[in-house]
C-alpha cells in the first residue's frame, strides 16, 4: 500500500527543487541507470522521521556544497513508487 500523493508531494519537492531527478517507474529507473556512464547517486526518499530530520537536509547540504558530485542524482520514493524503489 502506498502513501497518498498529496502527503508526499512536499517531501518530493524538497529534492526536486535541488535538481534531483525523480524516477517513478521501473522504466524510468532502467532508462536512467541501464547503460549509465559516469557516476550516479540514487536517494531513497521516505516519509519517515529519519528522512525528514537527517537525510533530506543532508542531501540539500551536499547539493549546495562545492566539490565533487556524481554525474547524475536521482530519487525514488519508498512507500509510494514501490516498483521503482525495488528496481533502483
CATH at residue 30: 3.40.30.10
Cα separation, 21 vs 15, in Å, equals 8
**Number of domains, the chain:** 1
Does the pLDDT of residue 1 top 80, yes or no?
no
Domain span including residue 26:
5-87
Active-site residue, from 4, 50, 64, 65: 50
Model confidence over 24-69: pLDDT tens digits? 999 999 999 998 899 999 999 998 888 778 999 999 999 998 888 8
pLDDT at 18: 94
Q: How far is CA 29 from the centre of its chain?
A: 11
11 part of the active site: no
Among 7, 31, 36, 48, the one annotated catalytic: 48
- The answer to whether the CB of 44 falls within 8 A of the CB of 79 is no
55 given a catalytic annotation:
no
Amino acid at each position: 500500500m502506498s502513501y497518498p500523493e498529496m502527503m508526499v508531494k512536499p517531501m518530493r519537492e524538497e529534492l526536486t527543487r535541488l535538481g534531483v531527478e525523480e524516477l517513478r517507474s521501473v522504466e524510468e529507473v532502467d532508462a536512467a541507470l541501464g547503460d549509465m556512464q559516469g557516476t550516479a547517486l540514487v536517494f531513497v526518499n521516505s516519509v519517515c522521521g529519519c528522512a525528514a530530520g537527517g537525510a533530506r537536509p543532508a542531501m540539500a547540504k551536499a547539493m549546495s556544497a562545492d566539490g565533487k558530485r556524481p554525474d547524475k542524482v536521482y530519487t525514488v520514493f519508498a512507500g509510494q513508487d514501490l516498483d521503482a524503489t525495488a528496481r533502483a
